[in-house]
Amino acid sequence: MAVAAGLALLLAFPPYGWWPLAPVGVALLAAATHRRRLRAGAGLGFVTGVALFAPLLAWTNLHTGYLPWVLLSLLQAAYLALLGVATAWVSPLVDRFPPVWPVVTGVLWVGQEALRDRTPFGGFPWGRLAFGQDGSPLLRLAAVGGAPLVTFAVAVTGGLLVAAGWWLVQARRQPTAARWWVPAAGAGAAVLVLLTGALLVPLGGSASGGSVTVAIVQGNVPRLGLDFNAQRQAVLDNHVDATIELAGQVAAGARPQPDLVVWPENSSDIDPLRNPAAGARISAAADAVGVPILVGAVLSGPEQGQVRNAGLLWRPGTGPDLEQLYIKRHPVPFAEYVPMRDLARMVSKQVDRVRADFVAGTEAGVVRTPAVVLGDVICFEVAYDGLVRDTVTGGAQLLVVQTNNATFDVAEARQQLAMVRLRAVEHGRPALMASTVGVSGFVSPDGRVSDATGFNTRAVVVRQLTLTEGRTLATRIGMLPEVLLAGLAVAALAGAAVLRRRPG
């Protein structure tokens, strides 16, 4: 059952997208760990975690060897081991008060994700239940309580399924019991009510009446893999050439004139502020298209041996606008910087591939262009609730995710696009993802994807987007739902502790 739970959860995520299996996976793990000893609960949770995360994160081993993939998968599985312990621990509570089983299941999942999203080194939120619901009615709940509420709803649905099945089995063991089907039918009805109720949640902010036309340039790279850094001039040239071609098409009337062009992360790994030739190439592209370009650049400094991952607005005629510069706030540990480098080197000398540590920025990614205010996050930052919300509370009208998937594969890109869909719904804003190699595309405030590109291809897509204003409930209340639900998880664990202390 634990293995089946992990595989069911896996199939809920892209590229599979069988979202109804997520509650099934939750139910199977809850059933497998119910009334188990704590050590068994930990083992079963760990098995589920390995069955989920090892294949879900397989894209991490494409160009770095097996060790990072194995270590990351085992670390994430350890959090599901803790969930298995917690689920086994609360068994006396749900046995004593069976109607609370679904809610307890839900809050324990939220608590586990809250911990995993923050520890260690800032956490790794990949594989949250909410990120596997991009095609589900439950996605709409993101507008009310963000990703934590969607996770809670998925886990509650799984809790209803396991409770219905458990009550059904118990009743059939006592065939003389009257109306044994009532609690099972009630749980099934609650699932339908939850899914139907989610469809009633209104989506999107109120239209402001304004619109903006945006072009995404996906320049592609000569070769996939970690050596994209060695190809940095070719990558920059690809994005410059594609933008100049777009300008020619606009002049010929074949394409609409954009108000803004977005390049992906790592589109200029040559620092254009220090390398005049790189800066001249970007200026040529901006001058040709006649509008600002949001460039994904690697900038040197501020200290010797340090670099910054940046979104930099480059204006036609005047060049870089250093007032409109976003520095990535959450660099990826062991990929963009190496914590405890000497110790990490003892595990694998591969960490020395990271020659210069990326320095974290301190300001939210609010980038103001003449046509629209952008909420910029870079690559994995889209998985972190607060980093995206900060841009919207700072005035962002359009969410932008600049990413580089050249070291991964199409499965990772589609998993990331699912997160963009959730963020668009959560904050009632149009959004886009711009990737070096794909998948790039636009997302409307109701979560629909338009003009998605292929993977490992060169493409330019242009779309007019309707801007929205106002804030969703999720934007206004921020992390409050997660705090409340995680608090209830702690209360459930404490309540189970009280019951375990009672004799008999």
How are beta strands 373-378 and 366-368 bridged, if at all?
Answer: antiparallel
| DSSP H stretches of helix in 397-479 | 410-427, 473-477
- Quick check: is 363 catalytic? no
Q: Which structure tokens are listed for 56?
A: 């879900």
What residue ranges in 78-183 does DSSP mark as E strands? none
Q: Which residues contact 125 (CB under 8 A, 6 or more apart)?
A: 113, 116, 117, 131, 383, 384
Of 113, 265, 336, 426, the active-site residue reads 265
Chain centroid offset of residue 182 CA: 39
Q: For the chain, state the CA radius of gyration.
A: 24
User: For 436, what's the count of Cα atoms within 13 Å in the CB-facing half-sphere?
Assistant: 31
Q: How many CB atoms lie within 10 A of CB 199?
A: 9
Using CA atoms of 361, 364, 365, 369 in order, give the dihedral in degrees to the nearest 10: -120
- Quick check: is 245 catalytic? no
Cα–Cα distances in angstroms (integers) from residue 287 to residues 213, 282, 295, 300, in the given order: 17, 9, 14, 25
- Quick check: is 328 catalytic? yes
Residue 441 main-chain phi, psi, to 5 deg: 170, 175
Q: How many CB atoms lie within 10 A of CB 59?
A: 18
Q: At what angle do helices 21-33 and 2-12 cross, to 10 degrees?
A: 160
Q: Which residues contact 225 (CB under 8 A, 6 or more apart)?
A: 62, 63, 406, 407
Of 113, 336, 379, 426, the active-site residue reads 379
Cα–Cα distances in angstroms (integers) from residue 173 to residues 167, 168, 170, 388, in the given order: 10, 9, 5, 51
Cα–Cα distances in angstroms (integers) from residue 40 to residues 43, 44, 80, 400, 484, in the given order: 5, 6, 13, 44, 29
List active site positions.
Answer: 265, 328, 379
